[in-house]
Chains A and B, each alone.
Chain A
Amino acid sequence: MIRLVNVNKYFYRGDPREVHALKDVNLSIQSGEFTVITGPSGCGKTTLLNAIGVLDNVSEGEIWLEDREIAHLPATQKTDIRLNSIGFVFQAYNLVPVLTVEENIGFIMRLQGYSDEAIRIRVREVASILQIDQKLDSLPNFLSGGQQQRVAVARAVASKPKIILADEPTANLDSKNSTALMEMMKELNRKEGITILFSSHDEYVMKNARRTILLNDGAVVSS
Chain B
Amino acid sequence: MFSLALKNIFFYKGRSLTTFLLTFVSVFLFIVYVAFMDGAHRSMLKNALDVYTGSLQIYHKEYREKGGYDYLIDDVSKPLGILARTKGLKAYASRLETYGIASSKKHSSAIMLTGVDFDKEAQLSELKKALKKGTYNSKGACVYMGETLAKRLHTDIGEKISFVGSAVDYSFVAELFDVCGIFKTGMYDFDSQSAFMNRRYFDSIFLSEGMATYIVAMADSLGENDKIAAHIADRLPPQLELYTWKTLMHSMVELMKMDSFFGYISMGLFFMVIFFVIMIYGFINVNARMKEFGVLRAIGVSDARVSALLFTEILLLTLAAMALAVPLGAYVAYYFQVHPIIIAGMSDMYKSYGVVSDRVPTLFDPVIIAWNSALVFGLNMLSILYPIRYVRSFTPVEEIHHV
A96 touching B295, Cβ below 8 Å = yes
Q: Which residues of B contact A73 (CB under 8 A)?
A: none
Interface residues of A in 22-67 (CB under 8 A from B): 50, 53, 55-57
Stretch at the interface among B225-233, B257-265, B299-307: B299-307
Decide if B247 is an interface residue (CB 8 Å cutoff). Answer: no
Q: Which residues of A contact B400 (CB under 8 A)?
A: 90, 92, 94
Main secondary structure of the interface of B (DSSP, over half): helix
**A211 vs B305: C-alpha distance in the bound complex, in angstroms?**
37
Min CB distance B310 to A, Å, is 14
B7 touching A88, Cβ below 8 Å = no
B7 touching A79, Cβ below 8 Å = no
B397 touching A50, Cβ below 8 Å = yes
Decide if A157 is an interface residue (CB 8 Å cutoff). Answer: no
Among A83, A95, A99, the residue within 8 A (CB) of B300 is A83
A98 touching B301, Cβ below 8 Å = no
**Best-buried of B8, B300, B303 by chain A (most CB within 10 Å):** B300
**A53 vs B300: C-alpha distance in the bound complex, in angstroms?**
10
A83 touching B299, Cβ below 8 Å = yes
B300 touching A94, Cβ below 8 Å = no
Q: Which residues of B contact A86 (CB under 8 A)?
A: 300
Min CB distance B288 to A, Å, is 10
B292 touching A97, Cβ below 8 Å = yes
Q: Which residues of B contact A57 (CB under 8 A)?
A: 395
**Best-buried of A94, A95, A155 by chain B (most CB within 10 Å):** A94
Known A-B contacts A90-B295, A98-B7, A99-B4; the reply to A55 vs B300 at CB < 8 A is: no
Among A50, A75, A83, A97, the residue within 8 A (CB) of B301 is A83
Q: Which residues of A contact B292 (CB under 8 A)?
A: 94, 96-97
Nearest chain-A residue to B301 (Cβ)?
A111
For chain A, the count of residues having a C-beta within 8 Å of the partner chain is 29
For chain B, the count of residues having a C-beta within 8 Å of the partner chain is 22
B397 touching A79, Cβ below 8 Å = no
Decide if B291 is an interface residue (CB 8 Å cutoff). Answer: yes
A75 touching B303, Cβ below 8 Å = yes
B303 touching A79, Cβ below 8 Å = yes
B300 touching A111, Cβ below 8 Å = yes
Decide if B296 is an interface residue (CB 8 Å cutoff). Answer: yes
Decide if A80 is an interface residue (CB 8 Å cutoff). Answer: yes
Decide if B323 is an interface residue (CB 8 Å cutoff). Answer: no
Among A56, A80, A96, A156, the residue within 8 A (CB) of B397 is A56
Min CB distance A12 to B, Å, is 14
**A98 vs B5: C-alpha distance in the bound complex, in angstroms?**
9
Min CB distance A55 to B, Å, is 5
Known A-B contacts A55-B396, A98-B4, A99-B4; the reply to A88 vs B298 at CB < 8 A is: yes
Q: Which residues of B contact A107 (CB under 8 A)?
A: 299
A55 touching B8, Cβ below 8 Å = no
Interface residues of B in 1-44 (CB under 8 A from A): 4, 7-8, 10-11
Q: Which residues of B contact A90 (CB under 8 A)?
A: 295, 298, 400
Min CB distance B376 to A, Å, is 27
Q: Across the A-B interface, give the 8 residue pairs with the lowest CB-CB distance, nearest first.
A: A83-B300, A98-B7, A94-B295, A82-B300, A98-B11, A79-B302, A56-B397, A55-B397
Give the interface of B toward A (CB within 8 A): 4, 7-8, 10-11, 291-292, 294-303, 305, 395-397, 400
Give the interface of A toward B (CB within 8 A): 50, 53, 55-57, 75-76, 79-84, 86-88, 90, 92, 94-99, 107-108, 111, 155-156
Q: Can you report 17 A-B residue pairs in the complex whose CB atoms are below 8 A from each other?
A: A53-B298, A55-B397, A57-B395, A79-B301, A79-B303, A80-B302, A82-B298, A87-B299, A88-B298, A88-B299, A90-B298, A94-B400, A95-B295, A97-B11, A98-B7, A98-B8, A98-B11
